[in-house]
Structure 1
Amino acid sequence: MRIGLDVFGAERLYDGDHRGLLDLAAEADRRGIDLITTSDHLGFSREAHEERVRANGFPFELEHPWLDPMSLLSAVAAVTERVELGVYVLVAPLRPALLLAKQIATLDVLSRGRTRIGMGVGWQQAEYEAAGIPFERRFGRLEETVAACRELWGPPPASFTGTGFAFSDFYSLPRPVRSRVPVIFGMAPSKRNFDRIARVGDGWTAAPADMPRLAESITLLRNCFEEQGRDPASAEVQIMLPAIDDGSGGVDFDAMAASADQARELGVDSALVRPSALAIGADDVDAFLTWAVGLGGNA
C-alpha cells in the first residue's frame, strides 16, 4: 500500500513558516514516503465557512492560508527525487480546462513523471460564484475538464468541444511524461459518481465520512469499472487515514496503524496521513516519519 503525507497545514510545525513544508517533503522523500499531497480552496465566504464549521466540524479557521496546490507541488518537485505528487483534492471545475491541463503537464515534466492528481467539485457555492462559474453543473464540468485534459495530454493536435469552451487542431505542449496521468476523484460514493470515475478517472479517494461503508463502496467502484469495459482491479482507492486520539490529548499510533492494516486488507492502494491533524510538534517529526513509512511495510 502506498503511504502518502498530506502536508496541508504542516507549517504549524515550523512556527508558521511555509518553507518548512519543503523541508518536510524533502525529508519524507528521503525516508521512503510514496506520495506528497496538499489540499485546495480558492477562498471562503464568511457565511459558508461558519456553516461548514457548524454542520461538518470544518477544522480550519477562516483566515487559514491555503497555498495554491500546483505552485506548492512545483516547489516540492524541485526538492524531491522519487516521491509522487498530488492534491487531496483539487476543486477542478474552478479552473479552465486548458490552463489546468498545462499546469498538470508542467508539473509532470518538472517532476519527471511523478504526478497523480486528486480532483473533486468542492462543497462551497460561494467559491463558484466568486469565480463566475455555475455551481449547478459542477459534476458535469469536472468530467468534461478531465476529458479535455486527456485530449490535450495526448498526441497533438487536440480537439474537444465542451460546455462553454472548445478547441480544434490545437497544440499545447509540453505533454506529460506519463502516457496517462492518474486522476483520482474525491466525491461521495454512489453509482452515478463511480460511473463518472470509470468513464474518465483512475480511482476514488474516500473522505473520512465514507470510511464506515468503505468495503461496499470499493465493490461498487470495481463493478462500475467492469461495466465500462475497464479492468476492475485497475480502479485505485485512496483514503485519508483518520486521526485517532489516545484519550489523553496524544495520538494513538497503534490504533491508526491497525486502521491502515484494515484498509490494506480491503484493497486500499494509498493511505494519506496529515500531520497537521495530529497532536505532534516539530520535535516529533523524525519519529512520526519513521512510523508513517512503516505503515507501508517499507521501513
Structure 2
Amino acid sequence: MDVGLLFDLRNPAQWHRPWADHYARTLELCEEADQRGAGGLWFTEHHLFEDGYLPQPLTFAAAVAARTRRARIGTSVVLPALHNPVDLAEQAALVDLVSGGRLELGLGAGYRLPEYQLFGADFQRRFAGTERNIREILRLWEEKAVTPLPIQDPPPVWGGFYGPRGARIAGRLGIGLLHISHAMFGHYREGLAEGGHDPRSARVSDLLPIILAEDPEAAWHRVAPHLAHQVNSYRQGSVEGTGRSTPLLTAEDLRDPNAQDTRGLLDILTPEDAAVRIRELTKDLPVRHLIFWASIAGMPDDLVTENIRLVTEKLPPLLR
C-alpha cells in the first residue's frame, strides 16, 4: 500500500495565477513530492470548468513522468467514453514508456452532461461506453495492435466507480476498483467471478477526502473558502444542462454536523488521526494505493507544502 497525491490544476479566479506559472509550479510540486518519497502522483480529467480543471491528464502525466524517478504516475480518472480507445491506448503507452514503467491507468464514466455533449458522446449510455472502451484498450495492448507498446504488460488499469453497477463492471473487466468501500467490495468480487477472474486478484485504491495539517483547526479556516469553491463547482457541474438546480453552500454549511449530504467532503487531520481513520477504512481490504488531495482549489502555498510533506514523510511510517 503506497501513499500518493492528486493534482487537479484548478486555478480559480479569486486566487488566479498566470497559467504558465501555475503549471510550472505544479510540476515543481510533483518533483518535490517524488523526491520526498511519494508513492504516486495522480491526475484527473474534467472539461468546461471555469477554474481550468485539468482537461488532459495523460498529457500532464507525461510531463511529470519526465521530471520524476520513483513515484507511480496515475490517472484518477480519465473518461474513456469521451475518447477514441486507440488514442488512449497510445497516449497511456507513451506515459508508461517515458516514466520507465510507472503508469497506473484509472478510468471512469464521469457524471457531467456538458462534457459528453462537448465530445458528441452518449451520456445516457456512458457506463456501456466506458466498459466497451476499457475492453478495447486492453485488447489493443494484448494483441499488440498499437505501437509502441507500454513497458508493463499491461499497465495496471483501474475502474473509478462508486456504485454497485460500476463495481461489477470493474470486476467483469478484471481490473482494480478505484474505490475503497466494504459495501462495494462484494459487488466487485461478484463481477470478478462473473468475468471469469480469480477473486483473489481483487485490488482496491481510492482518493480519500483528507488533507493533513499540524494544526487542523487553524488550517480549516484558511482552506474553507477554497473547499466551498470546489464543492459548489462539483454540485453545479452535476446538474448543468439538466434543467435542475442545486443551492450554493457556504463554508459554514460544510461544517454542519447535521448536513448529511456534505459529510465526508473533506477532513483536515493530523497524520496520527489520519492513520487511525485509514486503518478503519481499509481493514480487511486489498488496498494498493491511497491518494490524497495535494491542494484544494488554489489553497495557500504554505498549506499545500505542509500537506505534501506530511503525506509523503509523516504518514507512511504511521501506516506501517
TM-score, normalised relative to structure 2 = 0.73
Residues 82 and 14 of structure 1: CA distance in aligned 2, closer, same or farther (over 3 Å): farther
**Could you tell which deviates more after superposition, 283-292 or 253-262?**
283-292
**Maintained 8 Å contact 1:14/1:282:** no
Deviation at 1:283, TM superposition (A): 3.0
1:91/1:119 contact within 8 Å kept: yes
Post-superposition Cα deviations, 1:42-93, rounded to whole Å, max 9, x if no partner, equal 225xxxxxxxxxxxxxxxxx33342411110000000001211111111111
Question: What is the alpha-carbon distance in structure 2 between the residues aligned to residue 244 and residue 32 of structure 1?
Answer: 17
Shift of 1:260: 2.0
Structure 1 portions without partners, runs of 5+: 45-61, 159-171
Q: How far is 1:5 from its partner?
A: 0.5
Query: How does 1:192-211 map onto structure 2 within 5 Å?
Result: 192-206=165-179
Number of residue pairs matched? 261
Q: Which runs of 5+ in 2 are unaligned?
A: 221-267
One-letter amino acid matched to 2:88: L
For residues 285 and 277 of structure 1, the distance between their equivalents in structure 2, rounded to whole angstroms, comes to 8
Name the structure 2 match of 1:169: none
| Structure 2 match to 1:239 | 206
Give 1:263's aligned residue: 281
Residue of structure 2 aligned with 1:76, choices 64, 80, 87? 64
Partner of 1:21: 26
Distance in 1, Cα, partners of 2:83 & 2:298? 34
Instruction: Report if aligned partners of 2:73, 2:103 keep a CA contact under 8 Å in 1.
Output: yes
Q: Which residue of 1 aligns with 2:261?
A: none
Post-superposition offset of 1:285: 4.7
Following TM superposition, by how much is the alpha carbon of 1:278 offset from its aligned partner in structure 2, in angstroms?
8.8
- Tell me which amino acid in the other structure corresponds to 2:60: L
Matches within 5 A, 1:44-193: 62-156=50-144, 158=145, 172-190=146-164, 192-193=165-166
In structure 2, do the counterparts of structure 1 residues 173 and 279 end up closer, same or farther at CA, with 3 Å as the change threshold? closer
Q: Does 1:218 align with 2:185?
A: yes
CA distance in 2, matches of 1:276, 1:286: 9
One-letter amino acid of the structure 2 residue matched with residue 103 of structure 1: Q
Match of 1:275 in 2: 294
| Segments ≥4 residues shifted beyond 6 Å | 10-14
Give 1:288 shift.
2.8
Q: CA RMSD in A?
A: 2.7
C-alpha distance in 2 between matches for 1:67 and 1:30: 26
Q: 1:252 aligns with which of 266, 269, 277?
A: 269
Q: Percent sequence identity over matched residues?
A: 27
- CA distance in 2 between partners of 1:126 and 1:31 (Å): 38
2:3 alignment partner, SS class? strand
Structure 2 Cα separation of the partners of residues 230 and 126 of structure 1:
35
Distance 1:25 1:31, change over 3 A: same
What does residue 247 of structure 2 align with? none
What is the one-letter code of the residue matched to 2:275? A
TM-score (norm 1): 0.77
Change (3 A) 1:194 1:243: closer
106 and 225 in structure 1: CA distance in 2 versus 1, 3 angstrom threshold: same
Distance 1:244 1:68 in 2: 24
